[in-house]
Amino acid sequence: MPPRPNLFDFHGVSMSHYFTDNWENIQNFKARPDDVLIATYPKAGTTWVSYILDLLYFSQPDRQKSTPIHERVPFLEIRIPNICSGTELADRVDTSSRLIKTHLPVQLIPKSFWEQKCRVVYVARNAKDSAVSYFHFDRMNLAQPEPGDWNSYLQRFMDGKVVFGSWYDHVTGWWERKQSHPKLHYMFFEEMVEDTGREIDNLCSFLGLTSTAEEKEQIRDLVRFDNMKKNDMTNYSKAKVMDFKISPFMRKGKVGDWKNHFTITQNEQFDEDYKKKMKNTTLQFRTEV
């Protein structure tokens, strides 16, 4: 494994080279009108929603048993040496309704997704749980920059000095785009935890899909945290860059784990800074359910 990558400024967003090395192909990527883009800030429940959409569109047992979810749903901007890049993987998909995942902030999305008027599912998660989840992910993912200790990590998260930049800019940028792009479904991790079935119903209405109550119940069961954690096709156990001895990918799947990490002082400073950064948006989050 090469050394951990550095963070650098890329068009005003902190990035690592794994997500910029393929930039020309990303910007020139040809979206198709029936593509569905799954966009998130890291750790918002991308894999969870990817798996739900994959089951809604393609529930064939072969596909579900043989191919890990990160190969079924290409990660647009990734390029890691010796592994097929996201754009190559997406170009190879020959079915309709390609599902494509991205963590890019809205202003860096290839323009063909807007030109083709693709459907977009954006998933957001509250800042505190996102920071905690991202910290543990950066500890175990050897393709991410070193996270350092929790206190310094939290400060860098607040400063937007983590891969894919500022959480605050990401969630608000996509929220604003929803106003001008009606085919954008903005959903929340916390709502998924509260009532997965209701969120699956909302996704079906947005995507124009019809599933029977029985099919939806089956999907709801497959996508439960414990079942995804056991499932080698959804738990990232096949990903070579992750060290599960440090922390598993399917870690806790809870709302409110931040309470086990934030000190009282950190929480006060975070809340004060949050108010300033989020003062101009109507977007609201829940930090408990």
List active site positions.
103
- Minimum distance from CB of 196 to ligand A3P (Å)? 8
Token pair of 27 as six digits? 């910007």
- Minimum distance from CB of 270 to ligand A3P (Å)? 17
How open is the CA angle 125-224-69, to the nearest 5 degrees?
Answer: 80
* Residue the block writes with tokens 């890691």: 80
Buried b (16+ CB within 10 A) or exposed e, 216-241: beebbebbeeeebeebebbbbbeeee
C-alpha span between 134 and 120 (Å, rounded):
23
Q: Name the residue among 91, 185, 179, 170 with its Cα closest to residue 126.
A: 170
- Minimum distance from CB of 168 to ligand A3P (Å)? 17
Percent helix, strand, coil in the chain (nearest 5)? Answer: 45, 10, 45
Task: Please count the residues of this chain forming the interface with ligand A3P, following the rule CB under 6 A.
Answer: 20
C-alpha span between 93 and 90 (Å, rounded):
5
Where does this chain touch ligand A3P (CB under 6 A) — which range of 9-17, 40-48, 60-68, 211-219?
40-48
Q: According to the binding rule CB under 6 A, does residue 187 interact with ligand A3P?
A: no
User: Can you tell me which of 46, 87, 144, 166 binds ligand A3P, judged by CB under 6 A?
Assistant: 46
User: Can you tell me which of 19, 48, 164, 167 binds ligand A3P, judged by CB under 6 A?
Assistant: 48
Nearer to ligand A3P, 186 or 210 (CB): 186
Q: According to the binding rule CB under 6 A, does residue 76 interact with ligand A3P?
A: no
Q: Name the residue among 104, 83, 89 with its Cα closest to residue 37.
A: 104
Binding mask 202-231 for ligand A3P (x = CB under 6 A): ---------------------xxx--x---
Residues that bind ligand A3P (CB under 6 A): 40, 42-48, 129, 133, 136, 223-225, 228, 250-253, 257
